[in-house]
Structure 1
C-alpha cells in the first residue's frame, strides 16, 4: 500500500469518526428533547399525539364553526411558552393576527423570521372556534442558539397554545378587537351607525362642523396597543373632512370646542394597506389596525 493510499484511508476513517460523532451528538439532543417532552406529556391533563416529524399535539377543542383549508383566511391566537409555563411570546386580543391558513407557519419574532411547520399543520386540524396545543422539540423550534431576546435558552423545547377565532371577516374581527379593548380598559363608548365608537369628554358650543368646514384640531392617534403613531397638539393642524381618514367624518356630529375620543375600525382608518414610513418602508400603522384618537375641535370655519 503506497503512502497516498494510506493517507486517503486515514482521511476516510477520520471523516467517518467525525460524522458518527456529530450524528450521535445530534441524536442525543433529540433523545434528551423527547424524554423531556414525554415527561411533560405524562404530567399533563391533555392527551397528546406524536407527529412523525417529532412534535406532539393535542386538539383540546376541534371547534364548532366551518372547517378551513389552506386558501382560507383565518384569524388566530398563539402563545409560546417554556414547558414550565413561562410566557415567551403571544398574540394580542386587540390586534388579532390574520392570514391565509397556509401562511400561519410564518413568524417574525424579535426581528428574526421563523417557519414553524407544526403550527400550520395543527391549525389545519381545527375548525373555526377550535383550540389546540403542541410541543415543539428544540430542533423544530429555536434550535441550539435559542433566542435570548425572548428568553429562549439553547435547545429549549417550546409549548405553543393555538386557537382559531370564529370570526372570518375583518369587520367582525374589528368589532371583537374594539369590544375587547373597551372592556379591558373599563370604557363605555357610544357606537355610531358608521361603527365608529366615541366618548365625549367636553361638549363644544361653537360652530357646527359641516362637510365643507375647515377645522383646526388637536389630536393624538394611537394603535390599540397604546403606541402613538401621530400627534399634533399645538393648535396648528388645519384640515377638511375630505383630507382625513373616513372615521373622522363623525366630527360632523359636533361643534367647535368639543373634546372626544374616537375608536375607529380599520376599514375607516388605513385599511388593509396600513401606512408605512416612506424612508424605511416599515409599518407605522399595520394592515387592518383599529385606531384610537383623542381629538379636540379647536375651531370651525364655514
Structure 2
C-alpha cells in the first residue's frame, strides 16, 4: 500500500498499469476520449449528477462537525480508499478491506495518513474534495483523469489540454484531524503518550523521551565497543513494525523465516550517537541517541518525534510520514556472542 497515490509527486505513475498503457503526450483528443468514457459511465450510473469544484463528481458525502479545510489546514489526517470505475480496489487504508482482498500484510500500517496541502503535493481533484469537507466529514467522489495530472495549472482548461489519459478513479476520504503545525501536533502527541504510559516522563531533549526500565549491571560501555541488543520498534498506537525477538515477531504476525532470531543484533558503538551502526548500517537519530545513553545489560524504552526518525517520508508501508516512534531495547551479554 502506498499513500503517495494521493499525491502529485508519485501519482503520475500510479497505478502503474494505467500509466504504462496510456503513455503518450497529452492532446485535445486525449481529453475528448477520456471525457467520452467518463460521460458514458456517469450516464449509466449517476445520470443526474453534476460536477462540483473544478469538475469532480460527488457521489456521497456526510458533513463533519469540525473545522473547515481552509488554507491553514496544511496537514490533514485521512482514511481513504481508491477504486476504479468498475469497483476494483486500487488502494485503501482500511485493514478490513485489505484482509478481505487478501492484500493484508501484518507489518504494514493501516490507519489515518497525513496529506500535505502545500507545494503542489496533492492532485487538483483531491484538493477539491478537501476544500468541500470539514474534520469528521466523509466524501466519495469521481475524479476525472485530467484532475490527476502531475502538474499544477491556474486555469481549468489547462487541465483539459494536459490530460494524461488513463483511468478515472473513485476516491473515498474521511478526515480525522487537521493542523497547520505538524511539529506541535507531534509534541502534544508525545506528551500525551508520556502521561498515559510513563507518569508524565519529561523529555531529555526536544521531542526525545528516555526511560530506564532495568538498570542491569550499570557498567559503562566503552566507545567503539561491539554490543548486542534485542529490540522492538513500534508506533505510538502500538503497531509493531520491527523486532528481532522471535516470540514478539510471531505475536504481531511479522515473523520472517529468512531472519535469524537466534543471534541478537550487532551494534558498533561510537563516541557520538550519530556514529553508531546496527549491523554495519546507520540508524535513525532517535535510535542512536537511545543506544548512546545505555549502560551494559540495561533495558530501556525511548520514544521520539519523527524528525529523529523517518520524518516527512516515512519508511515503506510500515511507518507513515510524520510518525513518532517507540523503541524497547535490551543490551544482552554481548561477550558470549563474540
- Which structure dedicates a bigger proportion of its chain to strand? 1
Q: Rg: which structure is higher?
A: 1
Residues 95-110 of structure 1 mapped to structure 2, 5 A cutoff: 96-99=113-116, 101-103=117-119, 106=121
Asked if 1:269 is matched to 2:279, the reply is: no
TM-score (norm 1): 0.53
Tell me, yes or no, if the aligned pair for 2:69 and 2:135 is still in contact at 8 Å.
yes
Tell me, yes or no, if the aligned pair for 1:128 and 1:166 is still in contact at 8 Å.
yes
Specify whether residues 233 and 126 from structure 1 end up closer, same or farther in structure 2 by C-alpha distance, changes over 3 A only.
same
Separation of aligned partners in 2, 1:241 and 1:207? 22
Separation of aligned partners in 2, 1:250 and 1:24? 58
Asked if 1:37 is matched to 2:42, the reply is: yes
- Residue of structure 2 in register with 1:11 after alignment: none
Separation of aligned partners in 2, 1:275 and 1:55? 30
- Residue of structure 1 in register with 2:297 after alignment: 257
Superposed CA offset, 1:204-246 (max 9, x none): 573248xxx4374525575758766999945443257966845
Corresponding residue pairs, total: 233
Q: How far does residue 119 in structure 1 lie from its aligned partner after superposition?
A: 1.0
- Residue of structure 1 in register with 2:58 after alignment: 57
Separation of aligned partners in 1, 2:128 and 2:268? 50
Q: Secondary structure of 2:269's partner?
A: strand
Asked if 1:162 is matched to 2:170, the reply is: no
> Which of the residues 89, 92, 97 maps onto 2:91?
89
Q: Secondary structure of 1:106's partner?
A: coil
TM-score (norm 2): 0.49
Separation of aligned partners in 2, 1:273 and 1:24? 38
> Which of the residues 115, 124, 127 maps onto 2:131?
124
Tell me, yes or no, if the aligned pair for 2:112 and 2:176 is still in contact at 8 Å.
no
> Which of the residues 163, 185, 207 maps onto 2:217?
207
Tell me, yes or no, if the aligned pair for 1:247 and 1:268 is still in contact at 8 Å.
no
Residues 99-248 of structure 1 mapped to structure 2, 5 A cutoff: 99=116, 101-103=117-119, 106=121, 116-141=123-148, 155-168=166-179, 170=182, 172=185, 190-191=197-198, 193-194=200-201, 204=214, 206-208=216-218, 213-214=220-221, 216-218=227-229, 233-238=264-269, 245=285
Tell me, yes or no, if the aligned pair for 1:50 and 1:57 is still in contact at 8 Å.
yes
Tell me, yes or no, if the aligned pair for 1:206 and 1:255 is still in contact at 8 Å.
yes
Residues 282-301 of structure 1 mapped to structure 2, 5 A cutoff: 288-298=322-332
Q: Secondary structure of 1:296's partner?
A: strand
The answer for unaligned runs of 5 or more in structure 2 is: 1-26, 94-108, 151-164, 245-258, 277-284
> Which of the residues 80, 83, 105 maps onto 2:82?
80
Separation of aligned partners in 1, 2:265 and 2:129? 51
- Structure scoring higher RCO (CA < 8 A, sep ≥ 6) equals 2
Superposed CA offset, 1:179-200 (max 9, x none): 9xxxxxxxxx944634889999
Range that drifts further, 54-63 or 117-126: 54-63
Separation of aligned partners in 2, 1:40 and 1:175? 45
Tell me, yes or no, if the aligned pair for 1:76 and 1:162 is still in contact at 8 Å.
no
Q: How far does residue 132 in structure 1 lie from its aligned partner after superposition?
A: 1.3
Tell me, yes or no, if the aligned pair for 1:37 and 1:157 is still in contact at 8 Å.
no
Tell me, yes or no, if the aligned pair for 2:141 and 2:172 is still in contact at 8 Å.
yes
